[in-house]
Structure 1
Amino acid sequence: MTLALRWQSTPSRTLDAQQLGHLASLCLKLEVETHPKPGLVSHVDNGAHRDMDAALLCLSATTLMPFYGELAAAGAEGAGMNRLRAIGVAAERAMLAATHGVNTHRGAIFGLGLLCAAAGYRNAVGIRKSLGQLVSERWGDDILSGPISLRSHGAVASRRYGAGGARAEAAYGFPSIYDIALPALRAARELAPHDEEAVRVQTCIRLIAEVTDTNLLHRGGAEGLSFAQASASGFLAAGGVGSPEWGKRAADIHQAFVARNLSPGGSADLLAMALFVDRLEA
């Protein structure tokens, strides 16, 4: 697959700001090139979404590429949160223009953008801290004290249900990436050593099982979140992608999510971010 070939092409230590932008965009596209992810858009179908498909998500990822590079360059220059936020606002404006108003990647602009900035800073300074630790140390306080979006569905669910959401995730160094996604990604490679798509499916489902996904809370409330987590946990308990006919079981869960209009968009963003971190910190 073309994406897989590009994924392996450049040693991570040589990535400059522009290449970091390309990598971030690629990780978003790899998330799309993953099926079956419960309720989510993929190259196979639109999941529980009527307003977007794989082509639109890939267009959005391409549109965001230069902004991720700009965030990496700003991080390398020691930028504060105000400058990063201004780049993020410009990225969101460009995304909405490209998608005719569809919110394809607002959460990924925020989370993946901060990781790009941290990667740029780390390259410039030459330190060996994790990207999550750098985000927390350099911008964590400003993330928590900054303006709160009143428009995003995740923010509304966070206020309604008391969930931490994307802001807390970033401010505390992305624990869902480091404590859940990366261990799942690496363990899944033992289960399916020759199938990176299966590895991504397993990682996404692990995130659904363990993360309080505010997108699920928005669409299904506490009951929807509980159903999603129980379904994902059952898949993993049965052996995940290491068990026979795992694809059929995952597809059945996917259809059950679609029937309930459930889409774990937060977990999808975290999967893309985990792929980015894994590439740079493997």
Structure 2
Amino acid sequence: MRTAALPLQPDARLTPSAIGHAATLALYDELSLSPKPGLVTLIDCGSHDDMDAHTFMRSLFSLRRYFVQIAEAGADGADFAVLERHGIAAEARMLAATRGINTHRGAIFMLGLLCASAGAALREQHGPLHPAALRDALRRHWGDALARRSQRPSVLPGGIAARRLGLRSASQEAALAFPVLFETALPALGDALARGLTPRQARLETLFRIIAVLDDSNLAHRGGLAGLRAAQRAAQGFLDRGGIARAGGLSHAQAITDDFVRQRLSPGGAADTLAAACWIQRVCAAP
């Protein structure tokens, strides 16, 4: 699969099928990027012993129909219970494809909600989809349900770690309509592209900006609060020194990547957020 360029002015005739296809491409955008601190790429396993690029590709292909279905559900005005059923079924297909390995559980939740929101927004408006309309649709249609869901005790390792350490969990991030995605990641990606960075450079820079601010429950689960804060400081230090565009920027990114692997840290929440930002760039007109 080849990585397509990021369109800044998508076709106004966006459909649920196109929304879902863009989600699959966005997950590949994230997978194909390197060097990524602790994350699986096409050429290495990062901090993981149980998965590689082949695992991710099997997972990705198992989810293609899900993203279309949940966009259709959003366009049909489905309530949150329907979206949850789609997500649970998608997770079962993912686990069957990966032989029980969790590759995309966070993306099923995050990108699934966003695809549903895109479907709902398209039903309510004419013309190109904009990020603000996407976020507004998420809040209006499922904000209350997400707020209630965020109060439920999590049985997943990341959610348990977030609750124990007093961090903002993935469920709470969703209940707030993904502030790190819309207020940090998406502006950073757009700014990097506007500055003339290549798509690869822009995505790498955006990934570090996300790591620097996100309460990533995957990092908290693997490294505790100390591991999370160390990862955030490393990412912010990379940005403070000029990021990916400066001389030596790529080598610095690789050094941080190597250090994450040594510490067995993996910012899976940041990876999901980056994929979501790439997806928005594919389906939304410039804000």
1:271 to 256, 261, 274: 274
| Unmatched tracts of structure 1, length 5 or more | none
Equivalent residue for 2:3?
3
Verify: 1:259 aligned to 2:259, yes or no: no
Change (3 A) 1:126 1:98: same
What amino acid maps onto 1:237 in structure 2?
A: D
Flag the structure with more relative contact order, 1 or 2, with Cα contacts below 8 A and sequence separation at least 6. 2
Structure 2 distance, partners of 1:58, 1:8, is 23
Structure 2 distance, partners of 1:233, 1:135, is 30
Structure 2 distance, partners of 1:165, 1:13, is 34
Equivalent residue for 1:159?
163
Structure 2 distance, partners of 1:158, 1:47, is 23
1:246 to 249, 252, 255: 249
Listed as ranges, the matches of 1:213-224 within 5 Å are 213-224=216-227
Equivalent residue for 1:106?
105
Q: CA deviation at 1:275?
A: 1.0
Structure 2 distance, partners of 1:142, 1:168, is 11
What amino acid maps onto 1:4 in structure 2?
A: A
Structure 2 distance, partners of 1:34, 1:3, is 10
Change (3 A) 1:92 1:215: same
Instruction: Report the more deviating stretch, 36-45 or 254-263.
Output: 36-45
2:187 to 176, 180, 183: 183
What amino acid maps onto 1:251 in structure 2?
A: Q
Structure 1 distance, partners of 2:80, 2:189, is 30
Normalised by the size of structure 1, how large is the TM-score? 0.94
What amino acid maps onto 2:135 in structure 1?
A: G
Structure 2 distance, partners of 1:152, 1:13, is 39
Q: CA deviation at 1:10?
A: 9.3
Q: CA deviation at 1:81?
A: 0.2
**Per-residue Cα deviation, 1:188-228 (whole angstroms, up to 9, x for no partner):** 224443x2111111000110011111111100011101110
What amino acid maps onto 1:279 in structure 2?
A: R
Structure 2 distance, partners of 1:54, 1:191, is 31
**Per-residue Cα deviation, 1:116-147 (whole angstroms, up to 9, x for no partner):** 00101111121665212211221111112138
Equivalent residue for 2:52?
53
Equivalent residue for 1:236?
239
- Contact 2:188/2:209 (CA < 8 Å) preserved in 1? yes
Structure 1 distance, partners of 2:279, 2:16, is 14
Identity of aligned residues (%): 42
Normalised by the size of structure 2, how large is the TM-score? 0.92
Cα RMSD for the two superposed structures:
1.9
Equivalent residue for 2:115?
116
What amino acid maps onto 1:59 in structure 2?
A: R
Structure 2 distance, partners of 1:150, 1:173, is 19
Structure 2 distance, partners of 1:12, 1:169, is 29
Q: CA deviation at 1:14?
A: 2.2
Structure 1 distance, partners of 2:8, 2:135, is 24
Number of corresponding residues: 280
Structure 1 distance, partners of 2:12, 2:54, is 31
- Contact 1:136/1:170 (CA < 8 Å) preserved in 2? no
What amino acid maps onto 1:22 in structure 2?
A: H
Change (3 A) 1:64 1:9: farther
Structure 1 distance, partners of 2:63, 2:233, is 34
- Contact 1:192/1:242 (CA < 8 Å) preserved in 2? no
- Contact 1:135/1:170 (CA < 8 Å) preserved in 2? no
Q: CA deviation at 1:103?
A: 0.5
Q: What secondary structure is seen at the aligned counterpart in 1 of 2:51? A: coil
| Unmatched tracts of structure 2, length 5 or more | none
